[in-house]
Amino acid sequence: MIRVTCLGGAGSVTGSCYLVESPNNQKILVDCGMFQGGRQMEGRNKEAWGFDPKEIETLFLTHAHIDHSGRIPKLVKDGFTGRIITSPPTAELCEIMLLDAAHIQEMDAEWQTRKNKRQAGMDVTPLYTTEDAEASLKLLHPMERDQIITVEPGVKARLRNAGHILGSSILELWVEDGGDALKIVFSGDLGKKEQLIVKDPHEIFNADYLFVESTYGNRRHRTFEESKLELVEAIRYSVAAGEKIIIPAFAVERTQEILYILGEFLRGGLIPNIPIYLDSPLAIKATEIFRKNKKYYDEEARAIVDSGYDPFGMPSLRLTPSTRDSMAINEASGPAIVIAGSGMCTAGRIKHHLKHNLWRPGASIVIVGFQAKGTTGRQIVDGAKQVKIFRENVAVRAKVFTIGGFSAHADQGDLLEWVSHFESNPKVFVVHGEAVASTALAEKIQEKLHLVTHIPVWKERLILKSKELMAEELPVEEEIPDVETAMLNTIIDLENELKALRKKVKSTEVDKDMGEEEIDRLKYIQHELKSVFGS
Ligand SMILES: [Zn+2]
């Protein structure tokens, strides 16, 4: 039997990471993403892996987004030296994204250290460094999609287009279990229908077990055409007022989609020819990778190329990689479109543009991506009258346009349709979603497709069996004894008990009640502990 442990992307949308263990004790990892959103969630990035990175020979990476790739440098830092198998565009995007992520980690640690110093605290070491990111890039093994390869003895795999972002892939994995090969499919992040630039997700018909994402498992997107009209409206609104249109956007995919749409608008005469600033060094580099990888475009994007246009370029586009060029944007008056990161307005150059424009009546803030709770972007979406930027309260007088139809994720309808192609009655694990979204999708899959579903929780270990074994026994999630993990878990529990006990002993109200009998008991426990390993 095969074991899959959900080490991330289970009960949450970030931190994607699944450990697959074969009957021969081969260990394969699917994705190694960063946990994002809030201190508690991000704290998981520092936790122990739950396996030894040295024992992993193969890591499959579904796509370049940081919530799927962002812990790879840490994995390498902790001893991973195997292969990272991924599509060629994902490998290219990883080069810029992992280095950027390492830079952010280093800056954060430096800032924390400086802050701690003022309170005589300790130095903070970054989660990983630029060197760790560089070492990770050496392990990338780009592999074209749609071909089956033998990864290790008894393990075969194939990547398929997931239609989410450039290079994004679904993973088909065959693992030998006795005489049989069990087929497990990991959807990765799936794109929606009409997703710009990339082709629709590949339809798959066969699997014994399916892991499907559920980011928008409870939602239906507004139509894409409606969203485009809203963007035109926002641009026209600020052009009429002689003000700027500020678009916070993620550097990979969303930025390129916005450029693509603006190109369409300009060619169709829907908006006037005003300056369009791409004000993000990372997005500029990412756009270059998109521009190079034409063979992965869908028909519509190819048609633009064939008619002699650059889908991401237009005469009025200005790239501003340097800080000086970026600052000059706010010195220029008159209408202009500014695309900058970060996508949730929490860091980066977008903060400067918000500071200069949020308070200006006639300006537009166009929100085209998901804004997590607690972010500046979310406050703006929720209608805050003023927001704090660089410790300054800035009034919100610009018009805020929240446009929901540009998501790069499949919605409930798209997800159901994609799962409906499976003809083999797979058992479906619904992952990569908040609880409400995963539950809604799981219910729909049961109701409409009559498949057995399960929503794994973080760190849950699943037992996968071949069809024959499944027929003999009911599908089970029961734990098979794993001595090492059980032992480690017990030790952790013990340590926690001891910590609590130490606290109690130190607190005054307890030490009077602590008699010799209790001390004897503790000594007895100590004696017993020693006998566990005969030491
Ligand atoms: Zn993604």
Supply the DSSP string of 110-178, one letter for each residue: HHHHHHHHHTT------SS-HHHHHHHHTTEEE--TT--EEEETTEEEEEEE-SSSTT-EEEEEEEEET
169-173, 387-391, 399-403, 503-507, range with the lowest pLDDT:
503-507
Taken in order 221, 222, 224, 230, the sign of the CA dihedral is negative
CB under 5 Å of ion ligand 1: residues = 65, 189
Tens digits of per-residue pLDDT, 173-185?
999 988 888 999 9
Q: How far is the CA of 480 from the centre of ligand 1 (A)?
A: 33
Q: How far is the CA of 345 from the centre of ligand 1 (A)?
A: 18
- What is the pLDDT averaged over residues 238-253? 96
Q: How far is the CA of 499 from the centre of ligand 1 (A)?
A: 40
Structure tokens at 310: 């650059």
Q: How far is the CA of 166 from the centre of ligand 1 (A)?
A: 10
Q: How far is the CA of 189 from the centre of ligand 1 (A)?
A: 5
Tens digits of per-residue pLDDT, 206-221?
999 999 999 999 988 8
Q: How far is the CA of 66 from the centre of ligand 1 (A)?
A: 8
Q: How far is the CA of 65 from the centre of ligand 1 (A)?
A: 5
* Range among 7-11, 182-186, 487-491 with highest mean pLDDT value: 182-186
Q: How far is the CA of 331 from the centre of ligand 1 (A)?
A: 35
Tens digits of per-residue pLDDT, 432-478?
998 999 999 999 999 999 999 999 999 999 999 876 555 444 444 44
Q: State the amino acid at position 377 in one-letter form.
A: G
Q: How far is the CA of 439 from the centre of ligand 1 (A)?
A: 20
DSSP string, 126-145: -SS-HHHHHHHHTTEEE--T
**Rounded to an integer, what distance in angstroms lies between the CA atom of residue 159 and that of residue 204?**
11
**Rounded to an integer, what distance in angstroms lies between the CA atom of residue 301 and that of residue 199?**
10
**Rounded to an integer, what distance in angstroms lies between the CA atom of residue 449 and that of residue 451?**
6
Structure tokens at 236: 């026209």
Query: What Cα–Cα distance (Å) separates residue 503 from each residue in 399, 492, 497, 507?
Result: 54, 17, 10, 6
* Range among 104-108, 139-143, 432-436 with highest mean pLDDT value: 139-143
Q: How far is the CA of 69 from the centre of ligand 1 (A)?
A: 10
Q: How far is the CA of 103 from the centre of ligand 1 (A)?
A: 21
Q: How far is the CA of 2 from the centre of ligand 1 (A)?
A: 27
Tens digits of per-residue pLDDT, 522-535?
887 887 787 776 65
Q: How far is the CA of 372 from the centre of ligand 1 (A)?
A: 15
Q: How far is the CA of 378 from the centre of ligand 1 (A)?
A: 20
Q: How far is the CA of 164 from the centre of ligand 1 (A)?
A: 7
Q: How far is the CA of 62 from the centre of ligand 1 (A)?
A: 9
Q: How far is the CA of 192 from the centre of ligand 1 (A)?
A: 12
Model pTM? 0.82
Structure tokens at 148: 């089956």
Q: How far is the CA of 169 from the centre of ligand 1 (A)?
A: 10
Q: How far is the CA of 327 from the centre of ligand 1 (A)?
A: 31
Q: How far is the CA of 67 from the centre of ligand 1 (A)?
A: 7
Q: How far is the CA of 168 from the centre of ligand 1 (A)?
A: 8
Side-chain half-sphere exposure of 380, counting CA atoms within 13 A: 37
Tell me the percentage of the chain whose pLDDT exceeds 70.
95
**Rounded to an integer, what distance in angstroms lies between the CA atom of residue 471 and that of residue 79?**
40
Q: How far is the CA of 408 from the centre of ligand 1 (A)?
A: 8
Rg for the chain (alpha carbons), in Å?
26
Q: How far is the CA of 220 from the centre of ligand 1 (A)?
A: 18
Q: How far is the CA of 381 from the centre of ligand 1 (A)?
A: 22
**Rounded to an integer, what distance in angstroms lies between the CA atom of residue 277 and that of residue 95?**
24
**Rounded to an integer, what distance in angstroms lies between the CA atom of residue 181 and that of residue 150?**
13
Q: How far is CA 138 from the centre of its chain?
A: 22
- What is the pLDDT averaged over residues 472-488? 57
Tell me the percentage of the chain whose pLDDT exceeds 90.
73
Q: Which of 100, 124, 122 is nearest to 110 (CA)?
A: 124
Helix and strand totals (H; E) in the chain: 18, 22
Phi, psi for 434 (deg, rounded to 5): -70, 160
Q: How far is the CA of 335 from the centre of ligand 1 (A)?
A: 32
In terms of Cβ atoms closer than 10 Å to its own Cβ (0-12, 13-18, 19+), residue 295 is exposed
Place 12 in a pLDDT band, splitting at 50, 70 and 90. confident
Q: How far is the CA of 394 from the centre of ligand 1 (A)?
A: 32
Residue 137 or 391, more confident: 137
pLDDT mean across residues, the chain: 91
**Rounded to an integer, what distance in angstroms lies between the CA atom of residue 367 and that of residue 253?**
15
Q: How far is the CA of 486 from the centre of ligand 1 (A)?
A: 33
**Rounded to an integer, what distance in angstroms lies between the CA atom of residue 346 and that of residue 328?**
21
Structure tokens at 193: 């229908």
8-17, 265-274, 293-302, 358-367, range with the lowest pLDDT:
8-17
Q: How far is the CA of 321 from the centre of ligand 1 (A)?
A: 25
Q: How far is the CA of 310 from the centre of ligand 1 (A)?
A: 25
Q: How far is the CA of 479 from the centre of ligand 1 (A)?
A: 31
Question: Kind of pairing, strands 244-248 and 56-60?
Answer: unpaired
Q: How far is the CA of 336 from the centre of ligand 1 (A)?
A: 29
Query: What pLDDT does residue 535 have?
Result: 54
**Rounded to an integer, what distance in angstroms lies between the CA atom of residue 172 and that of residue 174?**
7
